[in-house]
Amino acid sequence: MARSTVRLVVTLRSTAGTGAVHVTRKNRLNDPDRLVLRKYDPVIGKHVPFREER
């Protein structure tokens, strides 16, 4: 079964500048702006904001 075109795979990059990356999916219709989530950065060992990159 094919995946929906509404839910896109997005890459979230750490704002701490460590290069850590999380990959997630988002609904393009509900969240048209760039996604910002507070996730764990294993490089520095803290929770930091991760921003969607395009």
d(CA 46, CA 15): 12
Per-residue confidence band for 3, with pLDDT thresholds at 50, 70 and 90: confident
Q: Taking the model in full, what pTM does it have?
A: 0.85
Instruction: Inform me whether the pLDDT recorded for 1 exceeds 80.
Output: no
29 or 54, which is more confident?
A: 29
34-53 pLDDT tens trace: 999 999 999 999 999 999 99
Half-sphere exposure of 24 (CA within 13 A, CB side): 17
